[in-house]
Amino acid sequence: MSALNQKTIKMPVKFNGVGLHTGKEVSMTVLPSVPNTGIIFKRVDLKKNNIIVPSVFNVSNATLCTTISNEYSVSVSTIEHLMGSLYGLGIDNALIEINSQEVPILDGSAKNFVEKFLEVGFETSNVPIKIIKITNDVSIEEGQKSISISKSNINLEIDFEIKYSNSLIGNQKNKINIYENNLSEIYESRTFCLYEDVEKLKKMGLGKGGSLNNAIVVKDSKVLNEGGVRNKLEFVNHKILDCMGDLYLSGYKIIGSIKCSQGGHSLTNKLLRKVFNEKNNYSIFEIKEKTIPHTYISKSILKSIA
């Protein structure tokens, strides 16, 4: 069985919880799926037109979380932490049955998703993985925010920085190699917000399911959650998790180097749209183990991609 072949999970995995923004109770089951089907969401509370594909071009809203919609305006939101866990673990194919419009927030991180997927284990197919390699630099700037993707040999690097005037969050920066590094601090990092923004969110009709059980709340120079932060770069690490999840909407394992300052869901989506709008920006290839030029690719790295 090759580590370069497409994977799914061995058994269905169930998650119950509330949606961060809707506050609704939701039940979600992630099921094994066959090669080349990718990740698919199915709204089982609806009888028809209920399939939603997490694709770059199906993102209908990316203001506070990532929402995808199909042509019938049926949507699923806050998919990014789940997508980040699937990407990080190299799960190529899965059917996600969900009975509401928002993925459960659980503890605000990807920790629960990752733990349960690892618990059931993976099934490897005999179909090779799909890779997209960035061949041109693409970037977007919006005021203080910027994001760019450039060529890389065989890795996906995410170099992220945030700059907050809040003294506790302040400036944080981290660079992660998604296929090589241990991602446990990325997976465990929770979504966060400023105390003064909680009321604003609620007024906008959002954050209804938010609590100290699923988000870090920062008030002045204090973390209100018992136990404080889980790791010292938790804020920027969570942004990297979001970025990973949003990048998986490309449908491929990306080989490229991301650099982002103060970005988020919307900027990542705009970057991917710009990449895919011009064919010279990328090349798609399927890895067939026998044809890998060994001078080009180190086998140990490929194992971690798969």
- Which residues form the interface with Zn ion (CB under 5 A)? 191, 242
State the SS3 of 195-234. Answer: HHHHHHHHHCCCCCCCCCCCCEEEECCEECCCCCCCCCCH
285, 293 contact by CB (below 8 A): no
Q: Which residues are paired to 148 by β-bridges?
A: 139, 259
Alpha-carbon distance values, 102 to 35, 84, 153, 301 (Å)? 26, 16, 36, 35
Structure tokens at 133: 């390699």
Minimum Å distance from CB 112 to Zn ion?
A: 14
What are the two backbone dihedrals, phi and then psi, of residue 262, each rounded to the nearest 5 degrees? Answer: 60, 25
CB-wise, 117 or 235, nearer to Zn ion?
Answer: 235
Minimum Å distance from CB 15 to Zn ion?
A: 16
- Told to judge if 238 belongs to the known catalytic residues of this protein, a careful annotator would answer no
Tell me how far apart the alpha carbons of residues 84 and 268 are, in angstroms, rounded to a whole number: 13
**Which residue, 154, 148, 237, is CA-closest to 188?**
237
CB-wise, 7 or 81, nearer to Zn ion?
Answer: 81
Catalytic residue among 81, 238, 265, 294: 265
Minimum Å distance from CB 173 to Zn ion?
A: 18
CB-wise, 54 or 128, nearer to Zn ion?
Answer: 54
CB-wise, 43 or 238, nearer to Zn ion?
Answer: 238
Give per-residue burial for 269-282: e unless 16+ CB within 10 Å, then b.
bbbbeebbeeeebb
Contacts of 173 (CB under 8 A, 6+ apart): 159, 160, 161, 162, 236
Q: 3-state DSSP call for residue 106?
A: coil
CB-wise, 109 or 155, nearer to Zn ion?
Answer: 109
Minimum Å distance from CB 65 to Zn ion?
A: 7
Report which DSSP code applies to 43.
E
Minimum Å distance from CB 196 to Zn ion?
A: 19
Tell me how far apart the alpha carbons of residues 272 and 284 are, in angstroms, rounded to a whole number: 14
Alpha-carbon distance values, 251 to 36, 132, 162, 228 (Å)? 10, 9, 26, 35
CB-wise, 245 or 256, nearer to Zn ion?
Answer: 245
Which helix (H) or strand (E) covers residue 284, if one does?
strand 282-286
Minimum Å distance from CB 202 to Zn ion?
A: 18
List active site positions.
265
